[in-house]
Amino acid sequence: MSERFNPTSQAITAIAPSNIAFIKYWGKRDVEKQWPANDSVSMTLSESKTITTARRNLTPFDSFQMNGMTVTSKDLPEHKVFRHLNRVRDRLKLSGHLDLKSSNTFPMGCGIASSASGFAALTLASVAILTDAQSWEDLAAHGTNRETLADVARLGSGSACRSFFGGFTHWSAGATADMQKITQDFTPQHWNLADIIVVLSAEEKLVSSSQAHLAAWGSPLYPARLAGLDHRLKLVQRAIKSRDLEALGHELESDAIEMHSVAMTGSPQVNYFSPATTKFLAWVRTQRNLGQLPAWFTIDAGPNVHLICDAQQAEKIATLVKNAWSEARVITDGVGEGPRFFRGEMEKDHV
Ligand code: PMV
């Protein structure tokens, strides 16, 4: 889709991609410091994005507009966007208040990682306008390079840090909370994969991932999951390196099922699957065994399913899904670049 910009000197627009985890971040060692219990690996997406425009607000308050609703920090100081803006300003020693306007290119709050692209775009747009940056070089000159921004975005939503890099990204938990690292393992050009997102339900989930991360520690399955993840990390990194889709697919299905088993047996128990999710997963495996569907599933914190496949097979697979699941919305996504920002604002709400 074409992008039309209206360059105004007062606004900065950031466009940040979502990402899909092949090894899920699930559970935190330290909530305050956002220290994950395990390393995660993801693919940055090309179509599912958040677009956030920031303008300076000369009052001592911030405002945030999304889906036609506006909230202000005067009325709702505890809103997650305003709490994050305060963190950004505190951490990076920046000052000034903002009017923010956001939109997504995909349905939010149902397992398409809207918080990842949302907090990445929010962090980038806010820091760029508060530092008067026009480019990544300007940002780096202010002491806010890509790694620093990813690290700050992580405080809003852990998975947001991975959206700062294109291609295939690794968020390493490190030996202490301060030793976390976010790195790009491979560029988007390394492997042309697709993510067929099958939206079985666009309803917002009832339990946020923040709540579910805490519940993981109560699951008797959680220690076993954590103990096996170093091995899975090696297998997944090796599969990406050698572009071995079958090996990757095997690990990504196991990882998703494991994460959801931990959620379902946690304390409290959290169930993101809908009856349609279970039916759909069984259908995928049957079709694959019949040689019809060379794709492997993964599922974030919601009822919807991501099918990872070779980009050359994407159209065929999307058509198969649409024919068999006429009530589902099917979004074809692929491997993408990291975020970008511009001076000005989009003429249309969506890219
Ligand atoms: O970033 P959060 O707190 O929304 O947690 C993300 C959790 C998963 O999407 C399920 C897994 C992941 O690593 O993206």
- In this prediction, residue 2 carries a pLDDT of 45
Ligand 1 neighbourhood includes 24 CB (under 6 angstroms)? yes
Ligand 1 centre from 37 Cα, in Å? 12
- In this prediction, residue 7 carries a pLDDT of 65
- Locate 264 and state its tokens: 């379902």
Ligand 1 neighbourhood includes 22 CB (under 6 angstroms)? no
- In this prediction, residue 68 carries a pLDDT of 84
- In this prediction, residue 5 carries a pLDDT of 62
221 Cα distance to chain centroid: 25
Ligand 1 centre from 260 Cα, in Å? 12
Q: Which residues of the chain have pLDDT under 50?
A: 1-2, 350-351
- Please compute Rg for the chain using Cα positions: 20
Ligand 1 centre from 158 Cα, in Å? 7
- In this prediction, residue 113 carries a pLDDT of 64
- In this prediction, residue 202 carries a pLDDT of 77
Site to substitute for ligand 1 among 23, 112, 209, most atoms within 8 A of C-beta: 209
- In this prediction, residue 1 carries a pLDDT of 42
pTM to 2 decimals? 0.94
Task: Using alpha carbons only, give the angle 248, 173, 189 rounded to the nearest 5 degrees.
Answer: 40
Ligand 1 neighbourhood includes 158 CB (under 6 angstroms)? yes
- Locate 156 and state its tokens: 């809003």
Please state the atom number of ligand 1 nearest to the C-alpha of residue 157.
1
Ligand 1 centre from 308 Cα, in Å? 17
- In this prediction, residue 154 carries a pLDDT of 97
